[in-house]
Amino acid sequence: MAPSWRSRPISLWLPNELITEIIEALTRSDRAALCRVSKLLHGLGVPVLYRVVKVTKLPQIETFCSAVLSNPMLTGLVQSFTVSAAGSHSFEEIIQYIAVSGTFPVQTSSSLSDLLRDPVRALSRLQYLSLDHEMMFKEQFDALLGCTFPSLASCDTWNQRTPIDTFAFFLARHSAMTYLRIHLGAKFESPFVIPLPSLQHFEGPVELIPWISTRRLRHARIDWGFFPKAHNIEASIVALGSLTCSDIPVVISSSWCGGNFLKIIDSVSRYIPHTKALITPASNLNDEQIVHVGNCLLRFTSLEFLSVESSSFLSMGRTECADYRTAAQNIGNLCPTLTAYLVGNEAWNNASGTWETFPSKEFRELCERSFGKFPDF
């Protein structure tokens, strides 16, 4: 009797490409278990297992570092590396630790940095690097910023105490980056303009914008800090406009900026009229301010989505006011390219040529389908 297909080696009835897809669909623990089944699964599974590495607890960090140091060839497999050390102890672990030792579990950023320094520096094919703020408090991390990752395309990190020029040189050495998300703990003043010609997505503090050079920006998420001044807003928007190209639609989202949201909308309409989506929260909103927003819309050439959301109880109470509602509804008639907008706490959608209200949740979903995750500052 011919042997059943189940008794044959897996390589005879499943192509390697399909096996790899199956491995990719598994959880990380299941992938690790499968790698121990056979040489074939080990050979196919290890590259998948180490392609995306995310460690959140000290034991995970120790395991990864031990594996990399004992087998340096693994460093060439890692394409995405994320360390999130904050909150690495669960509530249950803390209770258990206190019950046994009578003290709170302390995990220093220095110990994490010492462990990770050499393994991370060896990741030659790294494309995505994400390090949380606990990695930025000690001198050892400066050594990482002295490294070069030839394939790095995306970086998400904090810069709390690292010297600004050290960080600027790190960015300059990675000019192929397309995505930059950064949190600064101090005012950023670079010793030179940082060339990032491929940068498409920027998320970070407004003071970094004048120090970046690119013309390909597609998505900017700006943190204005606390109570920015009106003249600084206009200058910053001018600088932001210099990073964009008129034939590339851009999505601009803004953090809360007090009562200066009108200045942001006005400046963006003047200096970046090719904006595709503009999202900025409002501290409060009345019918006169809505009319001002409408006047700004006349300058936009490609605007599809607008969000000027206000959770203020004053704005909520005005939705039944005739002047307020008329001004809000008229917004859609002032910009022919507009698809949907949210003003105050009410969203409007163009349904067959008629502007009608619809749930704000659906507005956010519509935006996300068009340009990605709706910002949440």
Query: Per-residue confidence of the chain (377 residues) as pLDDT tens digits?
Result: 455 545 555 555 666 777 777 777 777 777 777 777 777 776 666 766 778 888 877 777 788 888 888 888 888 889 998 877 654 444 444 444 444 444 444 444 555 666 777 788 888 899 999 877 665 445 556 667 778 899 999 999 876 666 777 888 889 999 999 999 988 766 677 778 999 999 999 999 888 899 999 999 999 999 887 766 666 899 999 999 999 999 999 999 998 887 789 999 999 999 999 999 999 998 778 888 899 999 999 999 999 999 998 865 445 545 557 777 788 888 988 999 999 999 988 899 988 888 999 999 999 999 999 887 766 64
Structural domain contains residue 139: no
Query: How far apart, in whole angstroms, are the C-alpha atoms of residue 31 and residue 4?
Result: 26
Query: How far apart, in whole angstroms, are the C-alpha atoms of residue 270 and residue 299?
Result: 7
**Residue where the block lists tokens 């920006």:** 217
- Give residue 60's identity as a one-letter amino acid code: Q
CA distances from 221 to 46, 253, 347 (A): 36, 5, 21
Structural domain contains residue 270: no
Q: Which long-range contacts (CB under 8 A, 24 or more apart) does 295-301 make?
A: 295/334, 296/265, 296/266, 296/269, 297/269, 297/331, 297/334, 297/335, 297/338, 298/269, 298/334, 298/335, 299/269, 299/270, 299/273, 300/269, 300/273, 300/275, 300/335, 300/337, 301/273, 301/274, 301/337
Query: How far apart, in whole angstroms, are the C-alpha atoms of residue 159 and residue 164?
Result: 8
Structural domain contains residue 374: no
Query: How far apart, in whole angstroms, are the C-alpha atoms of residue 335 and residue 37?
Result: 61
| Cα within 13 Å of Cα(309), Cβ side | 24
Token pair listed for 152: 């790095």
Give the total number of structural domains in the chain.
1
**Residue where the block lists tokens 């290890």:** 46
Query: How far apart, in whole angstroms, are the C-alpha atoms of residue 259 and residue 283?
Result: 6
Structural domain contains residue 32: yes
Question: What's phi and psi for 40, nearest 5 deg?
Answer: -60, -50
DSSP state of 125: T
Query: How far apart, in whole angstroms, are the C-alpha atoms of residue 190 and residue 18?
Result: 49
Structural domain contains residue 78: no
pTM of the model: 0.80
> What residue numbers bound the domain in which 43 lies?
13-49
Structural domain contains residue 363: no
Token pair listed for 177: 């980056």
Q: Report the length, in residues, of the chain.
A: 377
CB atoms within 10 A of CB 90: 10
Structural domain contains residue 43: yes
Q: Which of 299, 371, 367 is closest to 335 using CA atoms?
A: 299
